[in-house]
Structure formats: C-alpha cells, structure tokens
Amino acid sequence: MGQVQAISSCSYVNVLLRGSIKSSPRIQDKFWCSKKLDSLQELGVKASEFNGVAIAHSRSSFASPCATHAIQAVLGNDKATTSSAVVLEKPLRKKLNKVVLAYSGGLDTSVIVPWLRENYGCEVVCFTADVGQGIKELEGLEAKAKASGACQLVVKDLQEEFVKDYIFPCLRAGAIYERKYLLGTSMARPVIAKAMVDVAREVGADAVSHGCTGKGNDQVRFELTFFALNPELSVVAPWREWEITGREDAIEYAKKHNVPVPVTKKSIYSRDRNLWHLSHEGDILEDPANEPMKDMYMMSVDPQDAPDQPEYVNIGIVAGIPVSLNGKDLSPATLLSELNEIGGRHGIGRIDMVENRLVGMKSRGVYETPGGTILFTAVQELESLTLDRETIQVKDSLALKYAELVYAGRWFDPLRESMDAFMENITKTTTGSVTLKLYKGSVSVTGRRSPHSLYRQDISSFESGDIYNQADAAGFIRLYGLPMRVRAMLEKGL
C-alpha cells in the first residue's frame, strides 16, 4: 500500500508519494513522484487517489506566519493499522482579518476576545447593543474590552428601534409562543445581529462572533440574521469549537492570558434582560416541580405585596400600535418603560412555563413582562371592537406561525415579512383606546372605544329595532341547522 511523507513550509507542501496504483493494472511496481501542493486539502485529495486515507498531524496552527510544519501521513487500507508519531495540538482554522464580537463584558465574552486573537490571528472589535438591559450592564465596558485585547468597543443605543421595529410588529400580530411566552429574547436577537452586520461593514470586518452555547436558541437567531443580511461574513461560535467546558476552565484561560476576570458576583440564574422582559433559567428552576424563590424576581413585586388599591391606565392605539399612555403621546421606548414601572409595582406579567426549544429539548423558564402584558391585553381588546369574527380567526391562526418564526430566529425570512404586511393591513382600523385596571397581578379591561367600532348599540340592544328583525332568525336557524336535520332524518329512516 502507498505511503505519504510531506514536509510543509509556510506556503506549500512538498509531497513524496510512494506506492502502487490499484486503478492502473499496467503499473504494479513501486514508484516515486514529487510535487508541490498548495494546501493540506489538496494533499488529502491526492492521497485519496491512491485508495487510502490521509491523516495529517501538525505541531502548530497553519495560521502562524512562516511556521515550519512536519506532517507525516500513512495511507492504510482495511487490513492495515493507521499510525502517526505526531499529535495534533489545535484544529486548523482559517485566517481572519477582523471580527465583530457580541460583547457583554461577562466572563465568557471577555475570554472569547483573546481566544479569537490566538486562534484566528485577527483583530477583535467588541460590540454592545443597548436594548434596555440597564445602565449597570454598560458601565466600564470599554476598559474591560480593551483589557481583554479588543482593539475597540462600539456601543449603539437600539432601544427605540427595538420597540418600534421588532416589539410592536409582534404585538400587532398577537404573536405568543406556546400560549405564554411573549418572545422577549427572541425579538432582541435579530436587532442586535443586524447592528453587528452594520458595524462589520463600518469597520471592515470579515467575520462576526457570538458567545451563545450550542444547546440554546440564540445561536440560531444570531446566525440566521447574519446569513440573511450578509452571507459573505464568516461566523465564529467559540462554544462549538473550544475546549473550555465551564466557568472554572474560562477563569483559568483568562488568568493564563492576563484577562481581568469580572469580579461581579455570579448569579445562580441565567438571565436575559431588555426593555420588554426579564427571563430567569437555571438552578432550582431546572426542576419543573420547584416553585421559584420570591427573591428571584427583579422587575415586579410579589402580587401579594402589591398595593391594595387598583390603578387604572388608558392606552391609546393607532392602527394596532400603542402610541399614548393616559392621554399623553410617548415614544415607543418611553411608553414601554413607563408601563414596566407601573405594571411592575402591581405584580403584573409573571409567567412560569416549560417550553420547547428550537434545538429539540424542553426547558423551564420564568419570565417577567409587566409592560408587555398590559399592551397585549389592550391591543387584543381593541380588536374585539374593530375586527369581525372570520378576520380574528385567521389572524389568530397566523399569529401562531408568526410567533414560531420569530422564536426560531427567522425574523428576516420573507414569510414573516409577508405575514407582517397582512397584519399591518388587517389592523389599519384598530384605532382607539382601552382602559385597564391593574390589581395584585391581574389586568382586567374596564372600557374600550374606537371610531371604527363594529359594535352597534342599536343593533345589539335587546330592544326591537329597524335594522335587526328578530323574526328573521327563524329562517336563518332552519338553513344553518339543515345538515344536522338531514343527518337526524337519515338515522331515523325518515
């Protein structure tokens, strides 16, 4: 059987092939040939022509400039045993110029910065999106990023864009995932990923990176957005590549590379916060039988501790989109922020659910969405005035698919965009106001008004009127019930 010996320098691989070619019956003796190959991939292709499997090992990454590499490969068949004296220390990775990293300043993303530089030989531009996670999350980020080895930090305030272009369309569509989840994290990921693509263009980056694990939904949401908006960008997901398996490994790597380890206390929960919601996962919540601890919640008070007096709020809505609170016009982000504060003090918007992740597993999460819960109730109640029965039924059926697309990270999918055009058109008459009563965790509707209301008191009243003749109901009932009468007649032999 054939053998391959290769000596590689920085730019090419010299290969000596020695063996017999089974595919050519005319050549039976051993032969020698020498050729320069441009890459290890070509080495593998050439080796396969000799009916063997090429196994290449290197002492260092080929991304290192002008490094000398010794490669030995043995072509074996099903009777021979493959062997090599050299062991791979690191996987071979392509050389990148500049990477934009979704950066939070926590342990994971702080470690990713030097890891990218070490394994891809690239500059790292850290990017942080302000989607309403709180000012404390943004403090000292630039110093942390540069101390980790980043060349710069870019921060963008996306709060108004997040609410106006992502949250409100979902609200208008009535998108709720698996009966409960108001899609807080799902809506935030595409607006962040879109901004990363924009930053990559601005700084001349050829790749983007994120710190999402290989078990969650967020990796899909980020990467589908990258694919949709700039398919030429390379995507690096360290959690799917590196050997770090947990917090202790990450701390050890950070110390080894002189990266300041964040000194903030590690939460026992995995949390994600933005202007729409706050999610809690992990620790005791991993057992669905455990009740959440009272001190876990951060956006809302325990309903038992809420004020003993109800509070009334009035939400103004134009074409399915909230525009005002108690008669005062507010920007999207400001409106939501104020409702979060009001709803939070009344214990509004807590849900506890077991959901099906996109990757196949079930997970248990607890969500706080005070302002969002108030807005969802208001919009749906106004639709009860402005939409007819068939329209509501079709809209509700499409809302399920809409929510699935958003949850799965397909925000920029043409299907969702087409469905959004339908939602925009169908709710153009959903204009008016809704008055709600907030009391100890509950939201109840006390009044609705709309200039486009399909509700007519003169028709709906029990009093007789000219528009609706009660005697007409007899003929309607006979026709409407005809299939049931025919079936009954058949069963009785009539």
Sheet containing strand 328-329, edge to edge, reads 328-329, 321-325, 311-318, 432-439, 442-449
User: In terms of Cα–Cα distance, which of 29, 32, 81 is closest to 55?
Assistant: 81
Element (H, E) at 459: helix 457-460
Q: Which residues contact 237 (CB under 8 A, 6 or more apart)?
A: 209, 210, 212, 214, 219, 223
> What is the DSSP code (8-state) at residue 177?
B
The tokens describing 432, both together, are 């008016």
How many separate helices (H) and strands (E) can be counted in the chain? 15, 18
Amino acid symbol at 194: K
- Angle at 189 (CA atoms; ends 188, 195), nearest 5 degrees: 95
Distance CA 410, CA 218 (A): 12
End-to-end CA distance of the chain: 88
Active site amino acids: 108, 189, 218, 270
Q: Which residues contact 278 (CB under 8 A, 6 or more apart)?
A: 184, 271, 272, 298, 299, 367, 368, 369
Q: Using alpha carbons only, what angle is made at residue 301 by residues 173 and 321, rounded to the nearest 5 degrees?
A: 20
Question: Which pair of structure tokens corresponds to residue 271?
Answer: 């949390």
Token pair of 121 as six digits: 């030989």
Vertex 261 angle, CA 260 and 263, to 5° = 115
Q: How far is CA 146 from CA 113, 123, 127, 142, 151, in A?
A: 9, 11, 12, 6, 6
Question: 């039924």: which residue's tokens?
Answer: 393
